[in-house]
Amino acid sequence: KYTKFSIFYYWTNSMDQKTPIYNRSENVAIPSGEENKTAALSYDYKIMPLENTSSTGTYYCEVKWNDVQKMGKGVFVLARDTGYINTSYGWEILVALTVLLAVLSITATALLLWKRKVVCPRRNQPNILRQKVETQLPSASPPPPPPVYD
């Protein structure tokens, strides 16, 4: 009774419209001694390639005997026209942050070194440059240099 059956492949879109893809009829011969036993048979069907983004939906397989009908759980397929795009930007953000910190560090160091060489005006005399007068006794040791980050 169950040796003759039909296999149907179809898909449903987001509007639950059923679109047939492929069907076939089978007539399986039962070897002697195997009568009245349960058998499992596999039938594969490849759907290639997906034509466009409208191919998105749930794909089903259904088997029909004379009085029995069984349907699979279905497989949801999302078709996109651009393919898979990795959305993780962690590596790029890390490189950009490192470059930004390096530029800021170099700029700050350059400004500090430049400021050390330029003589700053006094607060009460803004237009007169302060002159640095160094007095040194001949026998005295030279004064220690000022720190780099004055």
pLDDT per position as a tens digit, 15-62? 888 888 888 898 888 888 878 888 787 888 777 766 667 778 899 999
126 confidence band (pLDDT: 50, 70, 90): very low
Whether residues 90 and 61 fall in one domain: no
Q: Are 132 and 143 in contact (CB under 8 A)?
A: no
Whether residues 71 and 34 fall in one domain: yes
Whether residues 64 and 98 fall in one domain: no
Q: How many domains does the chain have?
A: 2
Whether residues 14 and 60 fall in one domain: yes
Report whether pLDDT(100) > 90: yes
Report whether pLDDT(129) > 80: no
Whether residues 101 and 54 fall in one domain: no
Q: Are 64 and 79 in contact (CB under 8 A)?
A: no
* Domain span at 92: 86-121
**Residue among 61, 62, 68 at smallest CA distance from 3:** 68
Distance of alpha carbon 150 from alpha carbon 115, whole angstroms: 9
Whether residues 29 and 72 fall in one domain: yes
Whether residues 60 and 113 fall in one domain: no
pTM of the entire structure? Answer: 0.48
pLDDT > 90: percent of the chain: 19
Handedness of CA 103, 105, 109, 114 (dihedral sign): positive
